[in-house]
Structure 1
Amino acid sequence: MTYFEGFIAPVPEDNREVYRGHANEASSMFGDFGVQRHFEAWESDVPEGKVTDFRKAVDAKPEEKVVFAWFEYPDRAARDAANEKMMSDPRMEEMGKNMPFDAKRMIFGGFNAIVEEGSERGGYTDGFVVPVPEGKREAYRELAAKMAKVFREHGANRVVEAIADDVPHGEVTDFYRAVKAEDGETVVFSFIEWPDKQSRDEAWAKIMQDDTMKPEDPMPFSGQRMFWGGFEPILDNDLAKASASA
């Protein structure tokens, strides 16, 4: 299945267009490295959580918004090869000199897809980060696969659940701290692509009435430490297609 490099970053609200332009300029370079799809989405409907949330994950300041982003690769080997090229390319060093956000608080990591339903892209995205006990990986995958079909039946274009494979522990922030992961827990990076926000809102109203949404007992993850939010895409580049036509 697809391999994902997932990112969550705090960006000053006033830097939205600067950030989008910066990411778009770098996108062709990422394609040279082997990234197949480069996706970036801006905070739109991100709730404040009592324990965890997207903003807490990156210590976002009041004047900052959160970006939910990812690179797609065919497999881990392609991602590793891309990262090796990035580390040795002088363009990356130059790009790092003028970052329109605080990279020290950005969190990132490599995730292996365990559920993929649908392939069409969307105009609005729900993002999720979930702490899952290592011993409940398969139970989580089975539940996620069942739920993915529900989302698709209610109009979702694509549903992905990807589990931590190469996720570093950071000095300031990281995916594990974001969900307050306990010993023996891993992290899932997940998203749902919808046609647009209205379709997403209407679908969730129906889904919450669906009997399939009734919680299992016990749930194979900590619902209190999971967090989610809605994001508006600001960049979605198909680098595999661009590379093929070059």
Structure 2
Amino acid sequence: MTYVEGFVVAVPTANKEAYRKHAADAAPLFREFGATRMVECWGDDVPDGKINDFKGAVKAKDDETVVFSWFEYPDKATRDAANEKIMSDPRMKEMGATMPFDGKRMIFGGFAVLLDEGPGSAMGYADGYLVPVSAANKQAYRTLAEKMAPLFLEFGATRVVECWADDVPTGEVTDFARAVHSTGDEIAVFSWVEWPDKAARVAGWAKMMADNRMQGESEPAPFDGKRMIYGGFAPIVEA
């Protein structure tokens, strides 16, 4: 897997089952078009932020839940071809006519994989992130990710993925750049950590925070942590 299509969506909480069915019905088509994996995760532990957060990213209302999802492709060319088929296939047009969410507030884009570590065995929970990173700090961010990934895996995570913005459009209402309040040459990194279940995620984070290797970093972070968006999500579709 070298390319990812990432999505963040606000879905009326009452439409959870309708959304799950909509995504599950679409999954075989995306696999037919070339996706190797499709994951849809329902917001479970999504905190409010002081500056920005997942809810603000998609202008979620009080009665809506944030969905964090991604499609995995073997390369960008396959993803581009899939998107062309999606736009022209009559089956997708029919599904698009009955979407159980406001598509105008969905944010989406294509991302090149910077790091993909771990066996990716059974996933029962995911941490999702959007991170504002300057283009000038791309290698520094990669270096930090390469340092952190083994710790996540040591403490129970099964996979760590970091993706660099590549084909991320500007939206009329919402988009990834506005989600992280991008400035200058900043882009939004789309990343996630897979865990066997929520209990493993809670235990893993407790160990991470207590580990001496997490303390006393001498180098400043290559991004503004105050504008990093994060949250915990429970998978509802994985195909």
Instruction: Indicate the TM-score class for this superposition, using the shorter chain for normalisation.
Output: over 0.9
Query: 1:53, CA displacement in angstroms?
Result: 0.6
**Other structure's SS at 1:224 match:** helix
Aligned to 1:77: 77
Aligned to 1:154: 155
Structure 1 length-normalised TM: 0.94
Aligned to 1:65: 65
Q: 1:230 aligns with which of 222, 229, 232?
A: 232
Q: 1:219 aligns with which of 218, 221, 225?
A: 221
Aligned to 1:15: 15
**What is the rounded CA distance, in whole Å, between the counterparts of 1:138 and 1:40 in structure 2?**
29
**What is the rounded CA distance, in whole Å, between the counterparts of 2:219 and 2:28 in structure 1?**
47
Structure 1: runs of 5 or more not aligned: 238-246
1:187-223 CA deviation, whole Å, 9 max, x = no partner? 1000000010001001101101123323453210110
- Letter matched to residue 89 of structure 1: D
Indicate the percent of aligned positions where both proteins have the same amino acid: 58
Query: 1:160, CA displacement in angstroms?
Result: 0.2
**What is the rounded CA distance, in whole Å, between the counterparts of 1:216 and 1:134 in structure 2?**
22
- Letter matched to residue 178 of structure 2: R
Aligned to 1:196: 197
- Letter matched to residue 46 of structure 1: V
**Other structure's SS at 1:127 match:** strand
**What is the rounded CA distance, in whole Å, between the counterparts of 2:163 and 2:155 in structure 1?**
21
1:145-201 CA deviation, whole Å, 9 max, x = no partner? 110111001010000000001000100000000000001111100000001000100
- Letter matched to residue 235 of structure 1: V
Aligned to 2:29: 29
**What is the rounded CA distance, in whole Å, between the counterparts of 1:127 and 1:202 in structure 2?**
17
**What is the rounded CA distance, in whole Å, between the counterparts of 1:167 and 1:139 in structure 2?**
21
RMSD over aligned Cα atoms: 1.0
Structure 2: runs of 5 or more not aligned: none
**What is the rounded CA distance, in whole Å, between the counterparts of 1:131 and 1:213 in structure 2?**
21
CA contact (8 A) 1:121 1:158 kept: no
Aligned to 1:42: 42
1:39-91 CA deviation, whole Å, 9 max, x = no partner? 00000001100011110100000000000000000111110111111111122
- Count of residue pairs the alignment pairs up: 237
Aligned to 1:241: none
- Letter matched to residue 134 of structure 1: A
**What is the rounded CA distance, in whole Å, between the counterparts of 1:145 and 1:228 in structure 2?**
19
**What is the rounded CA distance, in whole Å, between the counterparts of 1:202 and 1:84 in structure 2?**
43
Aligned to 1:244: none
**What is the rounded CA distance, in whole Å, between the counterparts of 1:60 and 1:189 in structure 2?**
19
Structure 2 length-normalised TM: 0.97
**What is the rounded CA distance, in whole Å, between the counterparts of 1:33 and 1:14 in structure 2?**
30
- Letter matched to residue 179 of structure 2: A
- Letter matched to residue 143 of structure 1: L
